[in-house]
Amino acid sequence: MRHGLVKRIQCFRINDDRSAYVTHMLYAHRRRSSLIVQQINTTNPSDETLDFDLLQRTQLSRQDAKQMDTKEIEFDSSKDKFLMITYRLFTQERTAIIVVIITNKITSNIHIKPNGQRKETILTVIKYSSLIHVDSLLNDTYAKDWEIKLQKQAKDDLFEALSISFENLLKEHIDTWSSIWQSGFSISRSLAPSIMNGDVINRTIYYVLCSTPSPLYDLQVSDTKRMELNQTLFQIDRCYESHSTLVGDRLWRSPGDDLAVYQLTYLWRTTLLKKGCSSLMLSGVNGVLQSMLLSIGGARFHNHHLEMNLDPKELHRDMFFRSIHFGKHFLLNISITVGHDNRAIMDVSIDNENGQAYACDAGCLDTPTKLSKKPIRFPVKMTSPSTAILYITEDFDYMTQLKDTLHVKEIEIAPPHAHDVLALHRHGHKLGGLPIIFWIVLGFLILVFHLFLVKIVLNEMGFFKHTTPAHSRARVL
């Protein structure tokens, strides 16, 4: 998941003497948005030659798809042959999309020697038009121009991909995902029933990011456009204007198919757009990730400052927000941990020692503290009426003025969380860190001890004394 790769392993038993072991690796290239790369490695572990046929489907199993043209093409830089297929996909709104696909032509008959293997790399390029009204497609010249344009773009993209080795294509892709994952979120594992953990959160984030373009990394985006989009990463005012998305069950459902992934992504994008993150999301995958992190933390940018609006009563688990964009000169790291006294505390740092950033806790009664690469600790406080638990800004004077605008009656350090609540998260039950069987055995031993003690007391009180009948000794005369 971290590298954006889909892997699958399959075993096929052909007969009692022959079998095949097949591994697939598939990815949609992050820097080349039209390119899909698939590698198929087939191994013959048997002592006999393996012969089998491969079937390559060129027809789309959609009733709204019409195949217009199929051509076999070649490139000077490759010995392989390729199929170029043109489709028209129709929608219910009397519009259509012209799609051009170029992919390797697969050899139908495969022979693998005993204990040998065959590795096949398949490159697929997909180019498509914008929505076109069906009436416009009645103009053959207009439709043909679109097809020729897309076919040329697809050929150019594939020609460029063929000039790069499979290893370098894979490295490009993995390096891009590593750069995207520079920012992220982690949460301590909970053993409480029906509680969401980090695997669900990161999986959901991954699905949303996979369905989002990455123009900041796309090789076909000009430097001018890339700089323009990069500026939107800092246009984050009023994102995210609501409570933490961790409480929204619908946002964290496990999708079972492509349609469910689309629906989940659409729900996330709609939620973020409606909560003030539209400008930030213009940058593509980077802005969407930043928006999701802000929404998870209940954090909001508002008039030159960031405020975190998590409920102190709900901070039962450790959380870590990594590399949140704040200004153009540094990134924020915010850690929330539950200490030995069962109280939540915050540690805040920035990645640039020369960055100017100041922070204060709820109410801002204390003097704002300058942030550095070394984490600065803040207590989690509760105020009446309720305010944010953390404020961060680049301007010290602004923070001083902000302090005067926070009109609260009471400020106190948040009370420690109940031990049974923390035990439920940490151990799956409210009995503490020891297993349940320990407490059952301990209870049984205590019960046995008390029964034994009661028996001793009753015995001393004479309840268990029995009078022995007296027998006179026989006399012998």
**What's phi and psi for 334, nearest 5 deg?**
-125, 125
User: What pLDDT score does 326 carry?
Assistant: 86
The band of 193, judged by pLDDT with boundaries at 50, 70 and 90, is confident
Cis status, amide bond into 255, omega within 30 of 0: no
Burial of 94 (0-12, 13-18, 19+ CB in 10 A): exposed
Place of tokens 């139908």: 108
Query: What is the H or E stretch that residue 295 is in?
Result: helix 285-296
Rounded to whole angstroms, how far apart are CA atoms 117 and 95?
46
Residue bearing the bigger pLDDT, 391 or 255: 391
The whole-angstrom distance between residue 296's C-alpha and the CA centroid of its chain comes to: 12
User: What pLDDT score does 465 carry?
Assistant: 62
- 236, 77, 46: which is closest to 161 by C-alpha? 77
pLDDT of 465-477, one tens digit each?
Answer: 655 555 555 555 4
User: What pLDDT score does 258 carry?
Assistant: 86
Rounded to whole angstroms, how far apart are CA atoms 410 and 363?
9
Rounded to whole angstroms, how far apart are CA atoms 313 and 138?
64
Rounded to whole angstroms, how far apart are CA atoms 124 and 34?
8
pLDDT of 108-142, one tens digit each?
Answer: 888 888 888 999 999 999 999 999 999 998 999 99
- 382, 384, 434: which is closest to 407 by C-alpha? 384
User: What pLDDT score does 428 carry?
Assistant: 72
Angle, CA 304 vertex, CA 298 and CA 307 arms, to 5°:
25
Average pLDDT over residues 369-392: 94
The whole-angstrom distance between residue 379's C-alpha and the CA centroid of its chain comes to: 29
Average pLDDT over residues 350-357: 88
Q: Is residue 275 classed as helix, strand or coil in its secondary structure?
A: coil
Find the Cα–Cα–Cα–Cα dihedral 8, 9, 12, 16, rounded to 10°: -170
- 433, 191, 455, 443: which is closest to 317 by C-alpha? 191
Burial of 235 (0-12, 13-18, 19+ CB in 10 A): middle
Q: What is the 3-state secondary structure (H, E, C) of 371-419?
A: CCCCCEEEECEEEECCCCCEEEECCHHHHHHHHHHCCCCEEEECCCCCH
User: What pLDDT score does 48 carry?
Assistant: 83
The whole-angstrom distance between residue 23's C-alpha and the CA centroid of its chain comes to: 25
Average pLDDT over residues 149-157: 96
β-strand partners of 20:
12
Mean pLDDT check: name the lowest of 61-65, 202-206, 218-222: 61-65
Q: Which pairs from 364-372 meet CB under 8 Å and 24+ separation?
A: 364/391, 364/399, 364/402, 364/403, 364/406, 365/403, 365/411, 368/393, 368/396, 368/399, 368/400, 368/403, 370/396
Do β-strands 117-128 and 95-104 pair in parallel, antiparallel, or remain unpaired?
A: antiparallel
The band of 79, judged by pLDDT with boundaries at 50, 70 and 90, is confident
User: What pLDDT score does 442 carry?
Assistant: 82
Residue bearing the bigger pLDDT, 442 or 5: 5
pLDDT of 308-345, one tens digit each?
Answer: 999 999 999 999 999 999 877 789 999 999 999 999 99
> For residue 351, how many C-alpha atoms fall within 13 Å in the half-sphere facing its CB?
15
The band of 234, judged by pLDDT with boundaries at 50, 70 and 90, is confident
Q: What mean pLDDT value characterizes the chain? A: 89
β-strand partners of 128:
99
Q: Specify which of 59-73, 173-187, 323-337 reaches the highest per-range mean pLDDT.
A: 173-187
User: What pLDDT score does 477 carry?
Assistant: 46
Q: Is residue 88 classed as helix, strand or coil in its secondary structure?
A: strand
What letter does residue 429 receive in the DSSP assignment? S
